[in-house]
Amino acid sequence: MTRAVAAQTCRDFARPRRARWLEEVFASALVGVGAAAQVIHIPALKKTEGSSWSRSCDRDPEKAARVAQKFQIPRAFGRLDELLEDDEVDAVDICTPNFLHAPMAIAALEAGKHVLCERPLARSAAEARGDGRRRRRRRTAC
């Protein structure tokens, strides 16, 4: 092996490599499009490499549509169950009032979606344990 080939091999070996799963793009959805979602979540997550924010959902379908248009999100839903039936969605970001976090996280986990949730995830330890069991059973991240 020549010095040039050896040097190139060393450079190739030393080059940092990214895991293949980091190169996948996760299609994500935002549940709850209030102030926290618009000021913090959407702008930050739009900048996140490897994510595609392709859905929004709010109990007020018109508000979901307005926010989707404002942030160039292709589809808006007025019902969580409709969003969770969408096979193109890999993960959901839950930005709703606290009392809705656990039921929505549970529904998303049972639908096989990954979950990012505003704190608190649950209102009690029992609720949180239930979320953990569902996450392990479905092999999803919460």
Residue 35, domain CATH:
3.40.50.720
Q: Is the pLDDT of residue 7 over 80?
A: no
95 in a structural domain:
yes
Query: Which pTM does this prediction carry?
Result: 0.71
What residues are paired with 77 via a beta bridge?
57
* CA nearest to 45, candidates 23, 29, 61: 29
Asked if residue 46 lies in contact with residue 71, where contact means CB atoms within 8 angstroms, the answer is yes
90 in a structural domain:
yes
101 φ/ψ sector (left φ>0, alpha ψ -120 to 50, else beta): alpha
Residue 61 phi, psi (nearest 5): -60, -35
97 in a structural domain:
yes
7 in a structural domain:
no
Report the Cα 6 to chain-centroid distance in Å: 43
41-90: pLDDT as tens digits: 888 888 877 777 889 999 999 999 999 999 999 999 999 999 999 999 99
Number of compact structural domains in the chain: 1
5 in a structural domain:
no
8 in a structural domain:
no
Domain that holds residue 85: 19-138
89-129: pLDDT as tens digits: 999 999 999 999 999 998 999 999 999 887 888 788 877 77
